[in-house]
Structure 1
Amino acid sequence: MSKFSFTLNATDGAARTGVISTPRGEIRTPAFMPVGTAATVKAMMPESVAATGADILLGNTYHLMLRPTAERIARLGGLHKFMNWNKPILTDSGGFQVMSLASLRKLTEEGVRFASHIDGSKHMLTPERSMEIQKLLGSDIVMAFDECPALPATDAEVAKSMRLSMRWALRSREAFGDRPGYALFGIQQGGVTRELRAESAEKLTEIGFEGYAVGGLAVGEGQEVMFGVLDYAPDMLPVDKPRYLMGVGKPDDIVGAVERGIDMMDCVLPSRSGRTGQAWTRRGQINIKNARHADDPRPLDEGCTCPACRNYSRAYLHHVFRSQEMISGMLLTWHNLHYYQDLMQGLRDAIAAGTLAQFVAAFHAKRAEGDIEPI
């Protein structure tokens, strides 16, 4: 079986482009991972997700352990077979969802005891159980189990939480064991405090992981604060391993994160926006429900080659959204995911060519123009 590896091909400033190799295929970086929470990217067929240019998907440990259960997925041949996706899959550890979705949760050194948000059933999630679930799912990239503290929090609270996460990281590493071809990523915590981030990075590097995530950001702290942390946090992590920024984000967040040395990102935004009538384009965001689109025969984005832009007008997309037709979410999600993958390809090409600064300037200038004039 081929190994898991990361090759850095070019840099431009702090930005990097390379390839993560896994037995299930290559992931071109910087990479954007669409989110397939419940073993599906909502409103999309797996073949369509692949057609947008996605090399890897994200699955949610918390949601899948509750329904249909990791044990059932394992009996049915693993997550890849279950959801008909033969490329790599990354699964999160479940920690973030337990903190944000579950009720009646109790945090101890051992782990988190919680009641399901679906039916109130009681569960215990520990580093060992998280590793077991992710192994049953068969994900290619497994995330260490961590606690993501709710912000705002005091430095003392953030420090206490980060140190607990580091103890859990060690237990995750031990429970993961020796699995050639699979990868375990550690998660740096420490909020917005440089010293805590440094302590966390040092501990993770000492344990040793196949990749490293910058966690605890994109939780409402605002772009300026997030970029402030990204100005130093990625550099604290090993240069020869992939760096993953969890839960990001809007197109301008992605561009800023890549400029600061991030290799991987995920976000529900392109698919969630698609279902609520929002389209992301080179000229910014469009709200398809607005009356201005009702008679507009033009596509969402003239520079886009996705099916929604090639074959349908703004007027049609406006009509099917207003009529609550299923095709609305399907077409807008496809467009958004295509736009995100186009953006990643543009970033990869610019880094490889050493022209990232020009690419970023053009990206911001185009967005500043705003949407095309109404007819």
Structure 2
Amino acid sequence: MMFEFRVQAVCPETGARAGELVTPHGIIETPVFMPVGTRATVKAMSPREMEEIEAQIVLSNTYHLYLRPGVELIEKAGGLHRFMNWHRPILTDSGGFQVFSLSGINRIKEDGVEFSSHLDGSRHFMTPELATRVQEGLGSDIAMCFDQCVELPCDEETARKSVERTLRWARRCKEVHRRDDQALFGIVQGALFDDLRKDCARELIAMDFPGYSIGGLSVGESHDEMYRILDLLNPILPQEKPRYLMGVGFPTNLVEGVARGVDMFDCVLPTRNGRNGTLLTSRGKFNIKHSRFEEDWGPIDPDCDCYACREFSKAYIRHLYRSGEMLGARLCSWHNLRYLISLMKGAREAILEGRFPQFRDRFHELFSTGKVL
């Protein structure tokens, strides 16, 4: 089969799942963190380095690639995999979030969204059909329906209209989607309103998508609010299909998302934090530019096996930042990505071995200390 999801184990106490997601470019072991390669590259990392840190799948963005270099050029290159020389699976976001957050929007219509490019101000009109066709041209393994995002906080009527439009657009995406080697996921919206979330999920389930994404979270709500929505959706979304929590990458959110039945995560956080010197470790996060690391000869995280931790000291990496050397940002991005990938690998192993509750407790015990070793 081109696309198949197999649940291998479920934690009875929490609902955490370990599975395998079969795609045309390989099998993805879940739960999984997906590094973000917005413009067909994960910032500061080469494809070979991504393979070294065991990235199984990367995410690219329809909005950005549609504007530059354009889907026509990528099709001439033989598709996104060949264009970026990445031979493992790729997921593409529909660009819905970027259309609403990055561009100057003039008008939201039933047909789509009229917007100005953040690059040159040129006018464009993105429709569900166009977003689907662009993703088919890119040739990603997993594509997203075009949806309407809302800012939080928002009132219930605004969220309701967003859900209704998201559902209508999802039907249109599904109607025009033709690639049988690409899975199209529906996106559950509804802000923080329980009934809207449930209604949206049930309507999408009735459309029978091969997977379901949870959008509109990690946009300013509290952790407890995020977890409440995940708890709400966990028993509703089909157990036999993958669930993807969009734009979430903070370690505690990943572990708690797994505990609530989520299989896939993505976020720019590890590379964005890496570029400013903030590091994620098994003992919490810290910024390498702090003066206390000037003579610290230990690794970023003694529990990490990444290249940065194996070969360099905190003192050296701090020196790189103070000197403006790009290697500092590269090493920190390298570590942060490897840490989140390893965290999900550890969660998967714990689920398969029947000890996820203990894994979860131990993670929180260590991460919350904030003690740099």
Q: TM-score normalised by the shorter chain: which range applies?
A: over 0.9
**CA deviation vs aligned residue, 1:17-50 (integer Å, no higher than 9, x gap):** 1000011101111111000011100000111112
Structure 2 counterparts to residues 295-310 of structure 1, below 5 A: 295-310=295-310
Q: Is the 8 A contact 1:234 1:243 kept in 2?
A: no
What letter matches 1:182 in structure 2? Q
Task: Name the counterpart of 1:65.
Answer: 66
**CA-CA distance at 1:372 after TM superposition:** 3.2
Assess if the C-alpha contact under 8 Å between 1:214 and 1:234 holds in 2: no
SS at match of 1:272: helix
2:235 matched residue in structure 1: 235
Cα offsets for 1:292-315 (capped at 9, x unmatched): 011111111111111111110000
> Gapped runs of 5+ residues in structure 1?
none
Q: Is the 8 A contact 1:36 1:42 kept in 2?
A: yes
Q: Deviations over 1:220-274 (max 9, x none)?
A: 1121110111111132111110000000020001001000000000000011111
Matched residues in 2 for 1:104 and 1:17: separation?
40
Report the AA paired with residue 250 of structure 1.
Answer: F
CA RMSD of aligned residues (A): 1.0
Match of 1:236, SS? coil
Q: Distance in 2 between the 1:82 and 1:332 partners?
A: 26
Which whole-Å CA distance do the structure 1 matches of 2:282 and 2:106 have between them?
Answer: 42
Q: Aligned residue for 1:97?
A: 98
Distance in 2 between residues matched to 1:8 and 1:321, nearest whole Å:
43
Q: Secondary structure at the match of 2:221?
A: coil
User: 1:336: how far off?
Assistant: 0.6
Query: Match of 2:258?
Result: 258
Q: Distance in 1 between matches of 2:266 and 2:235?
A: 20
SS in 2 for 1:91: strand
Number of equivalences: 371
Counterpart mapping for 1:241-320 below 5 A: 241-320=241-320
Query: With structure 2 as the length reference, what TM-score do the two structures score?
Result: 0.98
C-alpha distance in 1 between matches for 2:185 and 2:235:
16
How many angstroms does 1:97 deviate by? 0.2
**2:232 counterpart SS class:** coil
Distance 2:368 2:170 in 1: 42
Q: What's the secondary structure of 1:18's corresponding residue?
A: strand
Which residue matches 2:126?
A: 125
- 1:166-181 matched pairs, under 5 angstroms: 166-177=167-178, 179-181=179-181
Cα gap change, 1:201/1:372 in structure 2, threshold over 3 Å: closer, same or farther?
closer
How far off is 1:158 after superposition?
0.3
| 8 Å CA contact retained: 1:78, 1:138 | yes
TM-superposition CA deviations, 1:131-169 (whole Å, max 9, x none)? 111011111100000001112111111011100000000
Structure 2 equivalent of residue 211 of structure 1: 211
Moved over 4 A (4+): none
Q: TM-score, normalised by structure 1?
A: 0.97
**1:1-375 alignment to 2 at 5 Å?**
2-12=1-11, 13-177=14-178, 179-372=179-372
8 Å CA contact 1:33, 1:265 repeated in 2: yes
d(CA) in 1 for partners of 2:142, 2:269: 21
Amino acid at match of 2:241: K
How far did 1:216 drift? Answer: 1.0
Q: Which amino acid aligns with 1:176?
A: H
CA contact (8 A) 1:286 1:371 kept: no
CA separation in 2, counterparts of 1:94 and 1:225? 25
Structure 2: state its 5+ residue gaps.
none
Instruction: In structure 2, give the amino acid aligned to 1:10.
Output: A
Matching residue's letter, 1:256 = E
